[in-house]
Every structure is written in C-alpha cells, then in structure tokens.
C-alpha cells in the first residue's frame, strides 16, 4: 500500500466543505419552497371560504325574490336573467377571509346563463417567512377563487288558472285562490320539487335543492 501524502488530505478538505455547504443550502432551499407552498395553500383556503360564503349568502337572499317571481308572468326568467347586487356577500367574504388570517383584496360578481359567479381575491396577513431565498421575509401569499350560484331546476308544468265554476267555493276563497298561483312543480337534478305559495314557508329546506353553490375553476 502506498501511504497517502499529507498534501492530498489537505486538498480534499476544501472539497468536503463545499459539498456540505451545498447540501445545507439545498436543504434550506427546499424548506423555503415548503414555506411558500404552505402560505399559498393557506391563501387558497381563505379565498375558497370567502367565495363560498358570499355565494351561500346570495342563495339565501334569493328566497323572497324567487317566490315573488313565481307570482309574475315570466318573472322567473327575469329574475334568473338578472345580476346580483355587486356588494352582496362582501361582508361575509371579508369575515371568512379574516378568519383565515387574510384580507379581501378583490370582490366582484359576474352574470352567467341562469347562474351568477362571485370571485374573491385575498392576501395573507402573514408572510412566507425568512429563508435563504431573498425577499421571502416580506412576501405575502395571494390567491383567488370563484363560486357560482346556479339554478339547477326546470319547471315541469305550468299551473292551470282557477276555474270559478268548479265546485261550491265561497266567493272570498275564490278571490284568494286567484291571487295565489300554483302549486309549481320543478325537476331539480332529477328530483321532483313542489312549491306551494299558499304554504307558510314555501321554500323551507328547499333553497339548497333549487340553487346549487359550488366552486369552479376560473
């Protein structure tokens, strides 16, 4: 065996230092990527929650206008062809964003075919954090999400007008029945839904069947 010369060992030591330094830098870089990914996921969760909250509030707000539209000729098409109040759901979206440690930076509605879309943009209140990558200490994550309020039903049949000659009905009851059309039968995703306007709460537990709320890719 030929013994190694002291000079060879001295030359190898700097190489080891460079390799260890490189591996440490790579480890810190991967950690920074993980930090950025976690911040991004947090921002996306906040945006999703904000958009869904706004859409769900809009669905609840449509209960009374929907019932009123059934009382008017072509009222349903007029209602569903219109657009939402541009501020509807904004306060709820703000609240959900804040719950997820983010701020709402953008909010707007867009009209679609029998559906309205709401987009929420957020910015996290926290930063990516200190890392070997420059500027991450002051960088906030941002994200956006879009949810829709979509009418999922079709009117199965149109109610026939009340026949004043049918049956022995009190005159006052006749007048009342003329003022209340229906009942209306819809098919919502294959499920029959009957709405009787003479009921005390015609849309009780039915709003979620009539209007779908979900996130979409924007």
Q: Answer for the pair 141, 39: CB distance below 8 angstroms, yes or no.
A: yes
In whole angstroms, give the CA distance from residue 56 to residue 51: 9
For residue 145, which phi and psi values (nearest 5 degrees)?
-150, 150
For residue 159, which phi and psi values (nearest 5 degrees)?
-65, 140
In whole angstroms, give the CA distance from residue 37 to residue 59: 33
Confidence of residue 73 (pLDDT cuts 50, 70, 90): confident
pLDDT of residue 121: 97
Percent of the chain with pLDDT over 90: 30
Structure tokens at 68: 């009123």
pLDDT of residue 167: 46
Range 176-193 average pLDDT: 79
- Strand runs labelled E in the chain: 102-111, 115-127, 140-151, 153-157, 184-188, 191-195, 211-216
Residue 28 has pLDDT above 60, yes or no: no
pTM for the whole thing?
A: 0.72
Confidence of residue 10 (pLDDT cuts 50, 70, 90): low
Residue 118 has pLDDT above 90, yes or no: yes
Range 44-66 average pLDDT: 92
In sequence order, which residues have a C-beta less than 8 Å from that of residue 45 and are 6 or more positions away?
100
Q: pLDDT higher for 122 or 20? A: 122
Q: Answer for the pair 151, 111: CB distance below 8 angstroms, yes or no.
A: no
pLDDT of residue 16: 61
Range 6-31 average pLDDT: 60
DSSP letter (8 states) at residue 13: H
Count Cα atoms within 13 angstroms, Cβ side, for 98.
6
pLDDT of residue 18: 62
pLDDT of residue 24: 61
pLDDT of residue 77: 84
């Amino acid at each position: 065996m030929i013994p190694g010369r002291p000079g060879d060992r001295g030359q190898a030591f700097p190489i080891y230092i460079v390799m260890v330094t490189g591996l440490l830098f790579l480890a810190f870089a991967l950690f920074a990527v993980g930090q950025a990914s976690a911040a991004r996921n947090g921002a996306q969760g906040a945006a999703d929650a904000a958009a869904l909250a706004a859409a769900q509030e809009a669905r609840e707000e449509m209960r009374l206008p929907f019932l009123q539209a059934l009382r008017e000729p072509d009222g349903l098409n007029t209602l569903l062809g219109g657009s939402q109040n541009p501020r509807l759901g904004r306060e709820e979206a703000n609240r959900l964003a804040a719950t997820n440690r983010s701020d709402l930076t953008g909010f707007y509605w867009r009209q679609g075919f029998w559906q309205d879309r709401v987009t929420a943009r957020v910015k996290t209140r926290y930063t990516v954090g200190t890392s070997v990558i420059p500027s991450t200490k002051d960088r906030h994550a941002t994200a956006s999400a879009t949810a829709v309020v979509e009418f999922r039903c079709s009117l199965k049949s149109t109610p026939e007008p009340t026949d004043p000659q049918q049956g022995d009905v009190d005159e006052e009851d006749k007048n009342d029945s003329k003022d209340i059309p229906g009942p209306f039968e819809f098919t919502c995703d294959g499920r029959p839904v009957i709405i009787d306007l003479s009921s005390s709460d015609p849309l009780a537990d039915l709003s979620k069947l009539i209007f779908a709320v979900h996130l979409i890719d924007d």
